[in-house]
Amino acid sequence: MNNEKQIRVLVLDDDKFMLEFVSHLLRELGVNEVLVAEDGKAGLFVLSAQVTAVDLLICDIEMPGMDGIEFLRNIADQSYSGKIVLFSGVDPDLLKATERLATVRGLNVIGTLAKPVTVGSLATILEQLASPVRRNSDLSRMRQIFNLEEIKQALLADHFDLFYQPKVAVSSGHVTSVECLARWRHAHYGYVSPDSFIPVIEQCGLINEFTRRILTKSAQQLDVWLQQGLDLKISVNVSMENLDRFNLPEIYEKAVGDCNVPIDRVTLEITESKLGKDFAQTLDILTRIRLKGFGLSIDDFGTGYSSMETLKHMPFTELKVDRIFAHGAAEDLATRAMLESSIKLGKVFGLNVVVEGIEIKADYELATVLGCDEIQGYFIAKPMSPDEFIKWLFDYEKLNYKH
């Protein structure tokens, strides 16, 4: 067999013939290790028995006993980090809904396969695996939950760094701003994603100290860039748990002021799904944050419960459409409709509309046509260390590449 690929694939289907057929095709295509399971329970067993992670799971949705949706829920709980392809003879809308559900649970679905499966459709899927597959050694983006003591130690030792992801203005094609994203520099796991530690920091009451430090670091970095003559702004994420004290606007004003950075170059991003615990207090704090001159962004818009209500009352300056309404919008009518209405809604409220999570050119072009102001996503650039960012920025602006 030529072209052998060092990847491990698990195929899950209750139909024995399909299992044999797909396994055969995969081997023909050079996959060196194909595992099979006839039902959800067996699939869970196979996954848990592996010492090395499975790279790709090809999973049927319709199965007796544990169906595909239950199976995906289970592996999401176990933080399965490989890629997933769903296949089934069910109605395409149902397949799409299952894909979305899996994505919302944090799983990495890279596509769907309609039955009958062909060698061509499998080959296309395998090509997508060419991008580096997460291994056990790369736990940075896994939703592994760390214990409180370990996180406290990391806070004390200041083991948190910032990565920067650019936002580009649609009108000019220039980089206007960067989102500052926290990463834990872990001795064993390398850079750990914020989803693994922010919830713990929130629960243990350390989020205020954490956010103040992140804001200070971000403002210090902005100060350096401004001194280098770069015309940039920054966005920093603020947790709803931060809004528990009335003097928060003063704390943030001081953190930014100490770095000699103009406050109007700093936007605070707040996730909408958590807004509205104590409405009066939230409104009080956010309004005074605005009065101090900060920008205020409603993050992950569309994934919460109070979108319209929140927009009507809270003093936001920016709306960030969540990536689940951007990813694949050019191909999927329902996603496109949601993207379009979110952008329109933001414009009606006079907000700066940012679409995040843009990964491909087609979605970039669509978001542009639909009238958003700024775009953020892997299509422009991934979050980068300060050094990487500066190198990237000079290359990008040199080309002044208009997509």
**Site residues (CB under 6 A) for ligand C2E?**
165, 181-182, 193-195, 198, 211, 214, 237, 239, 269, 271, 299-300, 323, 356-359, 376-378, 383
CA 167, distance to chain mean position in Å, is 15
Contacted by 193, from ligand C2E, Mg ion, none: CB < 5 to 8 Å by type: ligand C2E
299 interacts with Mg ion by CB under 5 A: yes
Residue recorded with tokens 């954490």: 210
Contacted by 214, from Mg ion, ligand C2E, none: CB < 5 to 8 Å by type: ligand C2E
Contacted by 293, from ligand C2E, Mg ion, none: CB < 5 to 8 Å by type: none
What is the rounded CA–CA span in Å between residue 357 and residue 129? 20
Specify the residue, 60 or 202, whose C-beta has the smaller distance to ligand C2E.
202
Smallest gap from Cβ 167 to ligand C2E, in A, equals 10
What is the rounded CA–CA span in Å between residue 363 and residue 305? 25
Smallest gap from Cβ 387 to ligand C2E, in A, equals 18
CA dist list (Å): 73 to 70, 78, 101: 5, 9, 9
**Contact between 381 and 400 (Cβ < 8 Å):** no
Specify the residue, 1 or 145, whose C-beta has the smaller distance to ligand C2E.
145
CA dist list (Å): 371 to 166, 267, 332, 348, 354: 19, 21, 18, 12, 10
Smallest gap from Cβ 26 to ligand C2E, in A, equals 26
Specify the residue, 19 or 162, whose C-beta has the smaller distance to ligand C2E.
162
Specify the residue, 98 or 221, whose C-beta has the smaller distance to Mg ion.
221
Q: Which stretch binds Mg ion (CB under 5 A): 30-38, 205-213, 292-300, 346-354?
A: 292-300
Contacted by 166, from Mg ion, ligand C2E, none: CB < 5 to 8 Å by type: none
Specify the residue, 43 or 383, whose C-beta has the smaller distance to Mg ion.
383
* Cα dihedral 303, 309, 313, 317 in deg (nearest 10): 30
Smallest gap from Cβ 303 to ligand C2E, in A, equals 9
Contacting residues toward Mg ion, per CB under 5 A = 237, 269, 299-300
